[in-house]
Amino acid sequence: MLHSETGRAGARLRLPQGLSAFGNILKFLWKSPTSAFGLIVLGFLIATALLGPLLAPYDPYAQDLQNTLQAPSTAHWFGTDELGRDILSRLLFGAAITLRIIFLVTIVVGPIGMAVGTIAGYFGGRVDTVLMRITDIFLSFPSLILALAFVAALGPSLNNAIIAIALTAWPPIARLARAETLTFRKADYISAARLQGASSARIIWKSIVPMCLPSVMIRLTLNMATVILTAAGLGFLGLGAQPPMPEWGAMIATGRRYMIDSWWLVTFPGLAILTVSLAFNLLGDGLRDALDPKQMNRR
């Protein structure tokens, strides 16, 4: 329903309409305590990522060998690690890394998935078969294992981890974009554009991509929890961000050695991962409800 309306309104009117729809969705999400929690955590994450350097009480890389493995205290709320670095400061700086992963994965996965999906859906036939077969092959792996293999091939580093995650995260987006494309491929305004002599590339870019955008954005949000967990898993296995970078998964990996005596080394970074991924999951859940027409009517 949303599609046909925005479709007829044309490209220029779409933006403000989209914005107000976005506002409505936010309002809906705010009403449910669980998705409100998700929103708050997400806002908090963004704020920390931007303001981390100002908020952090210490330099996240500054070693203090006099004060290693200190339990949480008023001086170090979350304690210190094996090199005497302040864990709270490292967590705050780590937020920026998490956000960077999310951002980069999104801007890689969105376009790839969108391109494959819309092209497959628009042209159909053999193009569709080939592209969807490739998508299925990628889908036939658990994402972490495929990401592991890619990182192994590319060499361990944060950027390679991001590339590997992106390479494994596009297939569901492509499937979605294809399904969306199929629903309005035959629509009158597409035929009209074709009759006016618009090229296929132009039709896909100007008419189809904007229509797929909302649902693709939502799907990307839903996937974020998985992305965060995969990135943390790669960091934990030593295949993602490398020490001394304060990436949360890598922090847990180094803290593991001191775990029995110094629980705070692994506990706080783990809680940070859990909180953020839970926030995305709750938000995704709320979004699903928000976009379910039956639920919207109940407002």
Contact set with another protein (CB under 8 A): 34, 133-134, 136-138, 140-146, 148-155, 225, 229, 232-233, 236-239, 249, 252, 256, 259-260, 263, 266-267, 269-270, 273-274, 277-278, 280-282, 285
Give the residue with the Cβ less far from another protein, 62 or 259.
259
Nearer to another protein by Cβ, of 169 and 239: the residue is: 239
Minimum Å gap between C-beta 227 and another protein is 12
Hunting for tokens 């995650």 — which residue is that? 165
Nearest to 228 by CA among 297, 192, 178, 280: 280
Give whichever of 37 and 205 is closer to another protein, judged by the CB atom.
37
> Which residue lies nearer to another protein by CB, 55 or 69?
69
Q: What are phi and psi of 86, to 5 degrees?
A: -75, 120
141 vs 205 by CB, closer to another protein: 141
Min. distance of Cβ 281 from another protein in angstroms? 5
- Least CB distance to another protein at residue 33 (A): 9
CA distance 176 to 113: 8
Neighbours of 266 (CB within 10 A): 18
Picking from 233, 242, 264, 241, the residue whose alpha carbon sits closest to that of residue 82 is 264
Q: How far is the CB of 18 from another protein (least distance, A)?
A: 28
Nearest Cα to Cα of residue 189 among 1, 3, 15: 3
| Beta-bridge partner residues of 86 | 80
